[in-house]
Structure 1
Amino acid sequence: MITRENPARTDELVGTVCVTTPAQVDRALERARDAQRGWAALAVPDRAGAVRAATGAVEPVLEELAELMARETGKVLGDSRGELAFALTVLRWAADRAEALLVDRELDDTQGRLLVRHRPFGVVGAITPWNAPVVLAALKVGPALAAGNAVVVKPSPLAPFAVQRFLETVAARLPAGLLQVVQGHAETAAALVGSSLVDRVAFTGGESAGRAIGSLAGRALTPALLELGGNDPAVLLHDVVLDDGAADRLLMAAFATSGQVCMAVKRLYVHRSRYDEAVEALRAAADRMLCVGDPLHDGVSMGPVVSGQSADRVSALVAQAVAGGAEALVLGSVDAQTDLGRGYFVRPSLVLGAGDADPLVAAEQFGPALPVLAFDDEEEVLARANAGDLGLGASVWSADEEHAFALGARMEAGFTFVNTHNRTGLTLRAPFGGVKRSGWGREYGDEGVLEYVQPCVVHAPAAFRAGGAPLAAAAYPTG
């Protein structure tokens, strides 16, 4: 049994859910495989239309789901509402793009006749994290369903409820067995990923879990999409515009969802000539925007971290940096109606004077503590920003867009933002994912839809059609 407490009020039980046994996972996969055959036989417009129609069932329960998400994750209520609305947008977008992309391509010319079709993998096993549980599930479910696959989703045990309610509401409007949810810990994940009934794996989460998922999928020879987080640098050049709008974007790029976002700003590099100004701009932005407290309370913009373990880890990283000579500058205010002692709260802070080798800088802290580091030269900061083995996101901030794009192209990151970072810089049309050890495969963009199909070809070379050229003239392909 999975029991989940409210991280803002740890004496409050949000709910319980039964763990899915390995035998039950197998039965779910068998139902998915049976459903997938008929689903894949439908024309793409028919599948897309069914997915779009199914999203309508969620609209009446959005507010209920938002409150549930806030209570189980600690994400503030407005943020939870935004995630749910965006998840519906993702499902509808995936259906639309599938119609445009997954059309047969046929050529009949002097080189021969060629047919390229996009076939679904079959059954997709998706494993999703707790920090954005519904939207990160939708980014897998939408493209996979529209492409003709069935999907079985295993959410994080730290956020099992809202995503299950969301997906089951959508699934009720689709063929039985096509979209299912299983619950559990590592044993359930292993039963899902290691099954011979799974044809494609999609995972978002941390590196250690990603290694385990990748190893299981590799042993089964199952292709896997892995998005594994990052240690995103943001670089503020000497000509950065630090008005209130830019400061607010930068602040929330680091501290939205209490800093627990894979593409959050984790390291802030500021040109030395603008360092003091940037720190003051962020302090002023925090005074305007950051209020720590119960995520269901009006006016609260930052809730707790997800667990006591997370709170202890982030606090220890800050304490270690301070012991080494850094300064922790606490930001924002506290909601008067919230007792921070009841939950897993960590006050947001800027950490000044840390070194690149400090664990707070060198590792992904995944919490509300942002190290601010000075630099003097662009080549120097590029080397520092590209240091390490993670490469999910990065950003460059400058009044000169052309220069920012040129420097951004040299960042070792799968997605580089200009003059923004994190969610304010995403677009559905752009593929998102990491390089280096931040994973492989892409979500968002056309590439995110094409991850769930396999191009299959039928080809009649010109040489072997009626009246074709002699064999010797066509022994090797020419283009």
Structure 2
Amino acid sequence: MSATTEFELPTRRGLFFGGEWHAPLGGSEMTVNPATQESLGTVSVANKEDVDLAVKAAHEAFKSWRLVKPIERARLLRELAAKVRDRADEFAWLDSLNCGNPIKEMARDAVIAAAQIEYFAGLVHETKGDTVPMGDGVLNYTLREPLGVVARIVAYNHPLMFLASKLAPVVAAGNTVILKPPAQAPLSGYLLAELVSEVFPPGVINIISGDRECGEALVAHPLVRKAALIGSTATGAAILKGAADKIMPVTLELGGKNPLVICGDANLDKAIQGAVSGMNFLWAGQSCGSTSRLFVHRSVYERVLSSMKHLIVEQHKCGMPTDPKTTMGCLISKPQFDKVMGFIESARAEGARLICGGGPPDDPALAKGWFVEPTVFADVTPEMRLFREEVFGPVLAVIPWDDEETLLEQINSVEYGLTASIWTKDLARAHRLAGRVESGFVWINYVSSHFIGAEFGGYKKSGMGREEGLSELLSYTQTKNVHVSLT
């Protein structure tokens, strides 16, 4: 992909449900390029009435889709995966324009999404039941049946990847789905809808853009049987409250304030690179899995700080997201920019030591965008706001540690528990720490990557449920027991 590569912006920007495009009753609003503030045109905003129409269309489609043979559902999913992979460059261009992440990384998102779709296509026959021994003359067995209409609401940091990969387990299990793209970056959702329309029967996969009203209406609708979110902890709490009124299951993949631990015996070159990679500066730190609290043993503390600063300067420099050479994009919006700058100011005021970054870059070519340089604060203490709260931006807190008990107490003192990364050559220590950190996903001498089939999810306020593995597929089914007397 060259720096001059461009595609056409989507021309169809209505609400896609029931296999057709519909003008939104809720109206429209402008979407912009966060790196330049240039308009990318208007996008549809679904209101409660739009949601009702979309859900009813999905419910009608469910009546026949649930009867489609699993092997046919798998075939259609694979066909969609191939189309997503073929259009990876176009999806990357759209997402880099609309959400501000580097185009090179967004191309990887499309490939990952296609692989996830294919993975769940391969699991369609695993929605099977069991036989239960009951003695002579009795047959007792279970069936796994789909739930019905499922609502999936995704975040803005990986728009296409979240939309495309998260539809897969839902429809593989025989449900129909309504996808809500992120309000800040819905453009790739319109292109995905075009591809869906070429593959799936009407109403099986529906994509409607909107804001808070749209999401709330989806969760509240009586025909929606499950809701799943990738988003903030506050939004997750709101969805959980709404679902409680319906006694409806949810899956929530929420925020994180994730630790990366460097022990005194670690391979420091690899550990320092891991600390930089784990912060996900590529996405301007806008990642729930970012290891944004770096705990460094005091014996190597200053060495790590010095080396990490040089590595960050070498590897991550803010640039235009659509340039393939860019290694760090921008924040999604002015509210997010103001939030991140507020964390930086509070860290300064509370006495943290600034190692690098601390504000927007000096490059005049980037002046109109929501850019913040990679920022590192040392000597962060548990009392500081930067230690406790998720920034969702390129700000890393570094904390020295001496003994394991205090380390674990500090790691587990926050309300989040999504990921953790541990760097040591001591195998016993590695497993000991992994067993005691309150996190749902732990890397040892590694960081950041997800692996197909390895289930991902959080403890505490980082969410509930697991994704990216077999249990995600099964979570979109319900179990029926059948008891037969043969006498």
- For the 8 Å contact 1:287–1:331, the answer to whether it is kept is no
Unaligned segments of structure 1, at least 5 residues:
467-479
Cα shift readout 1:19-49 (whole Å, capped 9, x = no counterpart): 1122121111111111112111022122112
**What is the aligned counterpart of 1:127 among 128, 141, 153?**
153
Secondary structure (helix, strand or coil) at the match of 1:117 reads: strand
Once the two structures are superposed, the pairs formed by residues 19-418 of structure 1 within 5 Å of their partners are: 19-99=45-125, 101-106=126-131, 110=135, 112-243=138-269, 245-254=270-279, 255-330=281-356, 339-418=365-444
Match of 2:480 in 1: 456
Secondary structure (helix, strand or coil) at the match of 2:150 reads: strand
Cα offset, 1:160, TM superposition: 0.7
Match of 2:22 in 1: none
- For the 8 Å contact 1:292–1:347, the answer to whether it is kept is yes
Runs of 4+, deviation exceeding 6 Å? 332-338
Cα offset, 1:332, TM superposition: 12
Mean Cα deviation higher: 169-178 or 195-204: 169-178
Match of 1:471 in 2: none
> How far apart, in 2, do the equivalents of 1:45 and 1:201 lie?
26
- For the 8 Å contact 1:227–1:433, the answer to whether it is kept is yes
- For the 8 Å contact 2:361–2:371, the answer to whether it is kept is no
Closer/same/farther in 2, CA of residues 397 and 322 from structure 1, 3 Å limit: same
Secondary structure (helix, strand or coil) at the match of 1:351 reads: strand
Cα offset, 1:82, TM superposition: 0.7
Cα shift readout 1:318-360 (whole Å, capped 9, x = no counterpart): 1221122222122599999762211101111110122211111
- For the 8 Å contact 2:85–2:110, the answer to whether it is kept is no
- For the 8 Å contact 2:282–2:328, the answer to whether it is kept is yes
> How far apart, in 2, do the equivalents of 1:439 and 1:9 lie?
34
Length-normalised TM-score, structure 2? 0.90
Closer/same/farther in 2, CA of residues 333 and 370 from structure 1, 3 Å limit: closer
Closer/same/farther in 2, CA of residues 181 and 369 from structure 1, 3 Å limit: same
- For the 8 Å contact 1:290–1:331, the answer to whether it is kept is no
> How far apart, in 2, do the equivalents of 1:335 and 1:208 lie?
30
> How far apart, in 2, do the equivalents of 1:459 and 1:406 lie?
46
Q: Does 1:2 align with 2:18?
A: no
Q: Does 1:435 align with 2:459?
A: yes
- For the 8 Å contact 1:139–1:443, the answer to whether it is kept is no
Cα shift readout 1:119-139 (whole Å, capped 9, x = no counterpart): 110100111110112222234
> How far apart, in 1, do the equivalents of 2:345 and 2:71 lie?
56
Cα offset, 1:276, TM superposition: 1.2
State the AA in 2 paired with 1:445: G
Unaligned segments of structure 2, at least 5 residues:
1-27
State the AA in 2 paired with 1:152: I
User: How many residues are matched?
Assistant: 458
> How far apart, in 2, do the equivalents of 1:82 and 1:250 lie?
21
> How far apart, in 2, do the equivalents of 1:399 and 1:161 lie?
45
> How far apart, in 2, do the equivalents of 1:222 and 1:334 lie?
44
State the AA in 2 paired with 1:459: H
Cα offset, 1:107, TM superposition: 5.2
> How far apart, in 1, do the equivalents of 2:362 and 2:189 lie?
31
Closer/same/farther in 2, CA of residues 338 and 402 from structure 1, 3 Å limit: farther
> How far apart, in 2, do the equivalents of 1:298 and 1:13 lie?
22
Cα offset, 1:196, TM superposition: 0.6
**What is the aligned counterpart of 1:16 among 42, 48, 55?**
42
Match of 1:473 in 2: none
Cα offset, 1:108, TM superposition: 5.8
Cα offset, 1:316, TM superposition: 1.8
> How far apart, in 2, do the equivalents of 1:210 and 1:78 lie?
30
Cα shift readout 1:360-386 (whole Å, capped 9, x = no counterpart): 111011110101110000111001000
State the AA in 2 paired with 1:157: A
State the AA in 1 paired with 2:35: A
Cα shift readout 1:79-127 (whole Å, capped 9, x = no counterpart): 110111101111111111223x113433567374222221110100111
Match of 2:15 in 1: none
Cα shift readout 1:190-246 (whole Å, capped 9, x = no counterpart): 111100110111111112211221111111222111111111111111211112x44
Mean Cα deviation higher: 18-27 or 197-206: 18-27
> How far apart, in 2, do the equivalents of 1:70 and 1:457 lie?
48
> How far apart, in 1, do the equivalents of 2:267 and 2:144 lie?
46
Secondary structure (helix, strand or coil) at the match of 2:142 reads: strand
Cα shift readout 1:254-288 (whole Å, capped 9, x = no counterpart): 02311110010111101100111211231232133
Mean Cα deviation higher: 212-221 or 101-110: 101-110
- For the 8 Å contact 2:262–2:271, the answer to whether it is kept is no
> How far apart, in 2, do the equivalents of 1:123 and 1:76 lie?
34
Cα offset, 1:164, TM superposition: 3.0
Secondary structure (helix, strand or coil) at the match of 1:262 reads: coil
> How far apart, in 2, do the equivalents of 1:357 and 1:421 lie?
26
